[in-house]
Amino acid sequence: MQQSLMENSKLITTSNPDSPIAEAYRSLRTNIQFSSIDVPVKTLMVTSCQSGDGKTTTIANLAVAFSQEGKRVLLVDADLRRPTLHTVFMLSNQTGLTNVLANQMDWEDAVHSTSVDNLFFIGSGPTPPNPSEMLGSKKMNQLIEELSAHYDMILFDAPPSLVVTDGLVLASKCDGVVAVISVGMTKRQQAKKLYASLEHVKAKLLGVVLNNKKKKSKDQLYYTYYGTNRRM
Ligand SMILES: Nc1ncnc2c1ncn2[C@@H]1O[C@H](COP(=O)(O)OP(=O)(O)O)[C@@H](O)[C@H]1O
Ligand SMILES: [Mg+2]
């Protein structure tokens, strides 16, 4: 593994795999696996109310946790408006999902290897004028189906669901959704609105991650997971 990636503080699952935080991501992985026994979760999306809640950090570390288990994992940046996942893995975002959806390239050519074994990545590609339409397209359904045949898990980063509809459009196509609630930032009313929106599109909320950027101990992050195991 590249030293630079090891030192990337956003990927604690690679930089410090023995830490309690990395362990918390592994428990999140296990909880997701057990949250839906009858229908195995293969496609998973992260969402939250607003920008900065910790979606990208959560889905990146979760993807590493799944790949560390030996699963072949594909991480896709479906935050077409403000893509940042490629920076976490220090990869280019010149081409990606939007090119594939616009039939400009085959998905195989959009896949990057990462420095993490078993973990592959498709960036968002150039920002399109119609992100919701793109994610809601038939082409997106076909793509998810094809990717499902090639990977054990497909994890999507997404934009905040109270701000734009893209995430909700994608949520309805995934086997499960994990919501990130930012402790001290997400208001109760916002959280309620997020749950109602997910329920409206019949998304399966598998759990909620409480993300707290400020912990008493200075070098600790704080993650908690509440499984819900119900279709909202
Ligand atoms: N638990 C955490 N502890 C410390 N920093 C965090 C934590 N979660 C997120 N961050 C930082 O907060 C910023 C926003 O997080 P990010 O995951 O990009 O949020 P989102 O994808 O919801 O916009 C990033 O700089 C990230 O490194
Ligand atoms: Mg993000």
Mean pLDDT estimate for the chain: 88
Q: Please report the pLDDT score of residue 132 as a whole number.
A: 95
Question: What ligand is nearest to the CA atom of residue 81?
Answer: 2
Q: Please report the pLDDT score of residue 171 as a whole number.
A: 96
What's the 56 CA to ligand 1 centre distance in angstroms?
A: 7
Ligand 1: residues within 6 Å at CB?
10, 48, 51-57, 84, 211, 213, 221
Q: Please report the pLDDT score of residue 57 as a whole number.
A: 95
Is 152 in contact with 175 (CB distance < 8 Å)? no
Sign of CA dihedral 167, 151, 67, 208: positive
Q: Please report the pLDDT score of residue 220 as a whole number.
A: 40
Give φ, ψ of 81 to 5 degrees.
-90, -35
Q: Alpha-carbon distance 94 to 110, whole Å?
A: 10
**Mean pLDDT, 10 residues at a time, over the chain (232 residues)?**
50 86 91 84 96 96 95 97 96 97 98 96 96 97 98 97 92 96 92 96 93 58 45 42
- The closest of 11, 35, 121, 32 to 73, measured between CA atoms, is 121
Q: Please report the pLDDT score of residue 231 as a whole number.
A: 43
Fold of the domain spanning 5-227? Rossmann fold (3.40.50)
Cα end-to-end distance, the chain, whole Å:
40
pLDDT tens, 10-44?
888 888 888 888 898 999 999 998 887 778 899 99
Give φ, ψ of 222 to 5 degrees.
-135, 115
Pocket test for ligand 1, best of 213, 216, 223, 225 (most atoms within 8 A of CB): 213
The model's pTM is: 0.90
Q: Please report the pLDDT score of residue 180 as a whole number.
A: 96
Q: Please report the pLDDT score of residue 49 as a whole number.
A: 96
What's the 51 CA to ligand 1 centre distance in angstroms?
A: 9
What's the 84 CA to ligand 1 centre distance in angstroms?
A: 11
Is 81 in contact with 166 (CB distance < 8 Å)? yes
Query: Of all protein residues, whose CA lies closest to atom 7 belonging to ligand 1?
Result: 213
Break the chain into its structural domains and give their ranges: 5-227
- The closest of 57, 71, 74 to 14, measured between CA atoms, is 57
Q: Please report the pLDDT score of residue 215 as a whole number.
A: 53
Pocket test for ligand 1, best of 55, 56, 57 (most atoms within 8 A of CB): 57
What's the 56 CA to ligand 2 centre distance in angstroms?
A: 4
Query: Of all protein residues, whose CA lies closest to atom 5 belonging to ligand 1?
Result: 213
What's the 210 CA to ligand 1 centre distance in angstroms?
A: 12
Q: Alpha-carbon distance 152 to 42, whole Å?
A: 6
Q: Please report the pLDDT score of residue 219 as a whole number.
A: 39
The pLDDT > 90 percentage for the chain reads 73
What's the 224 CA to ligand 2 centre distance in angstroms?
A: 19
Is 55 in contact with 209 (CB distance < 8 Å)? no
